[in-house]
Structure 1
Amino acid sequence: PAEQVQGLPYDLPIVGYRDAVNTLRLWSAKAVDEFNLADFNKGSYVEAVEGKVLAENLTKVLYPNDNTMAGKELRLRQQYFFVACSLKDILRRYRRLNETWDALPDKVFIHLNETHPALVIPELMRILIDQEGLDWDKAWDLTQRATGYTNHTILPEALEKWPVSMMERLLPRHLQIIYEINGRFLQKISSLYPGDIKRLQRMSLIDENGERYVRMANLCLVSTSSVNGVAELHTEILKKSLFKDFYDLWPERFHNVTNGITPRRWLLKANPSLAQLITEKIGDHWITHLDDLKKLEDFSGEKSFLEALAKIKRCNKGQLSNWAMKNLGIRLDPDAIFDVQVKRLHEYKRQLLLVLYIIIFYNRLLADPNYDPVPRNFIFAAKAAPGYYMAKLIIRLIHGVANVVNANPKTRGKLSVAFLPDYRVSLAEKIMPAADVSEQISLAGMEASGTGNMKFMMNGALTLGTYDGANVEINQQVGDENMFLFGLRTEDVARLRPTYCSRDYYNGNPEIKQALDMIKANVFSLLEPGLFDPIVRSLLDYNDYYMLLADLKSYSDAQDR
């Protein structure tokens, strides 16, 4: 190889419930030659340590900003590094106990979680063919049966494409293998669908439209034995639209595995008071058999139980309030409703929809002194991808709205907005038990599953959401009477999109118009005029792709309920 890097393993014990301990193996990149003395003696002091810096950059930051070609290349290098290290370790362990490769799929199954580890396929083929001497057909059979692919979202960022020119330069042997997989696959498709050139173009592993790209999702679909989505609705979307050609070819490979969460962390550990109350009522079997929680329905009319639930919720809200004041200087009124949206910041998750509603709510308070709703604390926490400009701008808008709303004495005690920084598991463990309302408001058809919806509901929050992702299956379990559903459904989105005009909603609803006009008039960016113009343009000039304005009235009505 043109470059050599060492992978140094670090084993992290993952301590589970009771005696369960798993090991998570992480990898750090190290230079083979950390210091070049010859370069140093020539006065090339930077070049003397250049190899060390370049090697260790591979694992300095996971998922680096890929808005530049250098960032894209670092991502591809990073993905191959982790694949190569992990696969070599897996195969080393296998060969320690097995003399031949025949039992590999019986002993090893490699889960490709999204397309990020898709290079497992050509790397495993390379090892089996080039190093172990297997013929193509045997290596291909083993590779297919030993791998499976999970798709987590229909969004483009999960369907990675790498420039052929970059793959050719960095991973030429892997590209040869991908070409061979593609050639054999397209021959099969051509024989099944003679003359269907468009189908061949759609299913090819190589995107030939303009600059040539390797489609990593297609590589996973062709090369693995199992494909799944992560919620019933999401899996149906994969079958009927996104991966329809592949589903038509191999329906037996597709199945659904709805995402899940562990009650040991998100209830037993995060909310010990509620866990203790549940155990007092139904025993501790629920800790490992969550279906036992259905037994709590027997106590739904018991006054003392409901009072105990309310007391625990109030205590959890007080604890989060105290933490926020002590660590952030943010005041949260524990007697107000904690209306919470915490998750990755992405436009399809529609944090902006909640922001627009907050502005509407704020305007109602100012316009009508007699308007006396239950006081609200709107709580956000999120992180945005490093190169996601619009997501970062929405975070700034949340802060801008919070600064205006929280400073107005006319709305104090009735409305507050807080953004809790550095969202992470330990912070989520404080937020989930304290939430009264769980915001799950993605555009229908966009959210693959979601797990925050499960964590909030497990801790007694009411779900306010669209009929999307795992909200659908939660609704099937708890019923309409125990959720606040609103908005377009997946089929409505598809029907409306061809004729959708966001300005019709802007011009047709005075509250929506006022909210957007306030953003445009720099009410929330007084010292930086025009800061939020891109947000307004995305909603009006670029026709609101995620259909916030179409759902805003329905969302507002659901909030009012």
Structure 2
Amino acid sequence: MQRRLTYTVGKDNADASPRDWFVATALATRDRLVPSWLASTKRNYREDRRRVYYLSLEFLIGRLLIDTLTNLGLTEAMRDALAELGVDLDMLRALEPDAALGNGGLGRLAACFMDSMATLEIAAMGYGIRYDHGLFRQTLKDGWQHEYPEDWLSFGNSWQFPRPEITYDVGFFGHIESSRLADGMLAHVWRPGETIVAVAYDTPVVGWRGKHVNTLRLWSARAPDALRLDAFNQGDHVGAQSEQARAEAISKVLYPSDSTPAGQELRLRQEYFFASASLQDLIRRHMRQTGDIRRLADKVAIQLNDTHPAIGVAELMRLLVDVHGVGWKEAWRITQATFSYTNHTLLPEALETWPVQLMERLLPRHMQIIYLINAMHLDLLREKGASDAATLSSVSLIDERNGRHVRMGHLAFLGSHKVNGVSALHSALVKETVFKDFHRLYPDRIVNKTNGVTFRRWLLEANPPLSRLLADTIGAGVFDEPERLIELEKFADDVEFQNRFAAAKRENKARLATTVFERVGVRVDPAALFDAQIKRIHEYKRQLLNVLEAVAFYQDIIAQPAREFAPRVKIFAGKAAASYHQAKLIIKLANDVAKVVNADPATRGLLKIVFLPNYNVSLAETIIPAADLSEQISTAGMEASGTGNMKFALNGALTIGTLDGANVEIRERVGDDNIFIFGLTAREVEECRAKGIDARETIAASPRLAEALRAIAGGVFSPDDPHRYAQLVDTLTYYDHFLVAKDFDAYWEAQRRVDARWRDQKAWRRSSILNTARVAWFSSDRTIREYAQEIWNVAV
């Protein structure tokens, strides 16, 4: 570390800034894992191991210093070494920027899976994009969300290894030339009109105990010629760099807005760019290892994380047929045997489609291939007797309604040998809804793989007080074998252990209270119930339901000053998509309600509301260990799984939630008495929608809800603009698609059950301990074992 400070950073101890010390510490830590990384790579080649490639547009890896030190078992050694130099490790930890490579659950799941694949010593590599700015940095100005670039790379990235020698050409536009081969077969050659260069950047991913290290390879986009010198010399200094700027736009930001044709094109360019570079790279590695392209499916498993990399199905067919000369039928067999696809959503708008016109222009050869895949697929179904026009239209790769579109979910399904949902409920609904006809035609293809989380990060790193208690009580081996958490059950009624468990929680709550004050200037009492809803802001996740209950609770406090209430702090965090007006309005409402409630002395500190800006992994690591109550209140049937619910339960928070996603399985494991379930089931949601979603009768039958809506619509929380929320209330009243009104009374009653349990601290602590004890099954190590054994055919 001292050598790194001197010879890499170029500073001595007297002149080194805290950031200099961070860089030196990160590089010194990186040095310790490189030998294992190189050994793991050599072992993969030496043993001719089957490889897993995880393609994801997001990898929400968070800060890596403590994560790497923890997995290497060096945290305390590093802390002591730094202390001798007068440097505090926790100070350095806070300086590290969060890698802005993801948005929410999808990206965090990918990060957990990479950790578990390394821990289980699977020969794996993650592929994604090295975004310059990622999603966006969220700030709140007068309660409104504003988006700014997330400059996480402004001071460099100490964990990455640039690989300028590993580049691939990725083509766009152009035309196709066809010619007859000697055997009479027709050959196609794509002549791209534009070429972008994909440059590799590698980040080592170390598994638990440091025994195995895998690679996260991220692609950055560059133009073949960084500068048109002729134009520059003629005085066009800006135009000379236009090609480079156009190329770099591909890896500039995560999820550029697709509300314009140019935005749509950029999104598709991103997805094809990283899929093509990744496939070219893994084929190069495969050929180096075996020399036989026809053995690709024997040695390679590719997991598509959602539909973003689905264009890879057509790209692999192009590479096999056009570049490597494999016959069509054999290429299709190889493709299907190689790919598998994880579906993450039942929302139709989240199952990507691309206009055929855009695909034909941007990727002309791929559109040809998709047409042929589709024609052969439909011909085969007709041969098997599936002549029903509605069915054939439903499973066609081309959606002919409202303009012709390519259905990327269909392409991913058809090009994969296995398709998995991410919770038991979600997988069942996938079979009944978005892939209903596909499931009838291919009944063995859809399987379930319930998500999991990396326990080591969400205990050892995020919750040291609880981790110390676990090690003292049931032994440090629990971090090697999470199933040993069940041993906590026998301490659930032990008063002394309950007190120690509560003390650990209180320590975390005090830390969060400090963060809340530093970020939003609100003082909260760690003795209150900390009630957290932290996730992407979306109408189906129903932050609005939570805000409405807060308004009603506030009104009760004001109306009944003599009544005893359980003090509560409601904590919100999450980002709304930049173009999602309704979600941004919900953020503003939460902040407006908070402003009024927090300033009203009549609440007597019984209710505080805070919205913490710029939610990321590091903020989650502060909130989750401190939470007493976990809000998982999505409209039933709309949340695929959730992983925040698992992290909260692991850290002893009790869940209030609908029977949605993995909440169903959490309830099965923690027990009905240790979770607060309310509201409509997924089937009841569909029945309600079929009858109509006008909520006027529902609101009229609920005086408490009606009064809360009147206050919001009447400007009680927006005196500067009394009509600000009129449209929001009208939408809820006449078009309650997410059934907020329908579930309000059930949610209110569930919250009062929460209050009653909280007043009985012994009962609350017992339930909290049992939540931690009974959720070992939700480890991502378990999830990855299931993928390895049942989808990837990899030994673990």
Within 5 A, what are the aligned runs for 1:399-418? 399-418=591-610
Deviation readout 1:336-366 (Å, 9 max, x if unpaired): 1101100111111101100000000011111
RCO higher in structure (CA 8 A, sep ≥6): 2
Q: How many angstroms apart in 2 are the aligned matches of 1:362 and 1:552?
A: 15
Within 5 A, what are the aligned runs for 1:439-454? 439-454=631-646
TM-superposed deviation, 1:318: 0.5
Contact 1:364 1:371 survives alignment (8 Å): no
Q: Which stretch of the first structure deviates more once superposed, 346-355 or 364-373?
A: 364-373
Within 5 A, what are the aligned runs for 1:228-377? 228-377=420-569
Helix, strand or coil for the counterpart of 1:493? Answer: helix
Task: For 1:291, give the aligned amino acid.
Answer: E
Equivalent of 2:334, from 142, 145, 152? 142
Within 5 A, what are the aligned runs for 1:437-476? 437-476=629-668
User: Are residue 213 (structure 1) and residue 405 (structure 2) matched?
Assistant: yes
Segments ≥4 residues shifted beyond 4 Å: none
Within 5 A, what are the aligned runs for 1:550-561? 550-561=742-753
Deviation readout 1:116-151 (Å, 9 max, x if unpaired): 000111111101111111110111111110000110
Q: How many angstroms apart in 1 are the aligned matches of 2:402 and 2:631?
A: 41
Q: How many angstroms apart in 2 are the aligned matches of 1:495 and 1:559?
A: 25
Q: Which residue of 2 aligns with 1:382?
A: 574
TM-superposed deviation, 1:209: 1.0
Q: How many angstroms apart in 2 are the aligned matches of 1:193 and 1:498?
A: 32
Task: For 1:472, give the aligned amino acid.
Answer: V
Q: How many angstroms apart in 2 are the aligned matches of 1:386 and 1:189?
A: 42
Helix, strand or coil for the counterpart of 2:208? Answer: coil
Structure 1: gaps (5+ residues)? none
Q: How many angstroms apart in 2 are the aligned matches of 1:88 and 1:195?
A: 38
Taking a change above 3 Å as real, the CA distance of residues 505 and 418 of structure 1, as seen in their structure-2 partners, is: same
Q: Which residue of 1 aligns with 2:702?
A: 509
TM-superposed deviation, 1:194: 4.6
Equivalent of 1:533, from 693, 702, 726? 726
Helix, strand or coil for the counterpart of 2:232? Answer: helix
User: Are residue 52 (structure 1) and residue 244 (structure 2) matched?
Assistant: yes
Within 5 A, what are the aligned runs for 1:175-214? 175-214=367-406
Q: Which residue of 1 aligns with 2:193?
A: 2
Task: For 2:350, give the aligned amino acid.
Answer: A
* Identical positions, percent: 50
Q: How many angstroms apart in 2 are the aligned matches of 1:390 and 1:133?
A: 51
TM-superposed deviation, 1:478: 1.3
Q: How many angstroms apart in 1 are the aligned matches of 2:506 and 2:623?
A: 13
Q: How many angstroms apart in 2 are the aligned matches of 1:391 and 1:145?
A: 40
Helix, strand or coil for the counterpart of 1:27? Answer: strand
TM-superposed deviation, 1:299: 1.0
TM-superposed deviation, 1:508: 1.6
Structure 2: gaps (5+ residues)? 1-191, 754-796
Q: Which residue of 2 aligns with 1:12?
A: 203
Q: How many angstroms apart in 2 are the aligned matches of 1:90 and 1:387?
A: 36
Q: Which residue of 2 aligns with 1:81?
A: 273
TM-superposed deviation, 1:386: 2.2
Q: How many angstroms apart in 2 are the aligned matches of 1:386 and 1:93?
A: 39
Q: Which residue of 1 aligns with 2:255?
A: 63
TM-score between both structures, scaled by the size of structure 1: 0.98
Task: For 1:449, give the aligned amino acid.
Answer: S
Q: How many angstroms apart in 2 are the aligned matches of 1:97 and 1:444?
A: 47
Q: Which residue of 2 aligns with 1:116?
A: 308
Q: How many angstroms apart in 2 are the aligned matches of 1:534 and 1:33?
A: 51
Q: Which residue of 2 aligns with 1:393?
A: 585
Q: Which residue of 2 aligns with 1:524?
A: 717
Q: How many angstroms apart in 1 are the aligned matches of 2:277 and 2:489?
A: 49
Task: For 1:442, give the aligned amino acid.
Answer: S
Helix, strand or coil for the counterpart of 2:525? Answer: coil
Contact 1:4 1:31 survives alignment (8 Å): yes
Q: Which stretch of the first structure deviates more once superposed, 474-483 or 36-45?
A: 36-45
Q: How many angstroms apart in 1 are the aligned matches of 2:385 and 2:325?
A: 34
Task: For 2:206, give the aligned amino acid.
Answer: V
TM-superposed deviation, 1:32: 1.0
Deviation readout 1:441-461 (Å, 9 max, x if unpaired): 011111110001100000000
Q: How many angstroms apart in 2 are the aligned matches of 1:123 and 1:355?
A: 46
Q: How many angstroms apart in 2 are the aligned matches of 1:320 and 1:170?
A: 48
TM-superposed deviation, 1:46: 2.8
Q: Which stretch of the first structure deviates more once superposed, 279-288 or 457-466?
A: 279-288
Helix, strand or coil for the counterpart of 2:433? Answer: helix
Q: Which stretch of the first structure deviates more once superposed, 278-287 or 460-469?
A: 278-287
Q: How many angstroms apart in 1 are the aligned matches of 2:200 and 2:727?
A: 44
TM-superposed deviation, 1:68: 1.4
TM-superposed deviation, 1:5: 1.0
Taking a change above 3 Å as real, the CA distance of residues 93 and 280 of structure 1, as seen in their structure-2 partners, is: same
Q: How many angstroms apart in 2 are the aligned matches of 1:413 and 1:282?
A: 38
Q: How many angstroms apart in 2 are the aligned matches of 1:21 and 1:534?
A: 52
Aligned-residue Cα RMSD (Å) equals 1.3
Task: For 2:347, give the aligned amino acid.
Answer: L
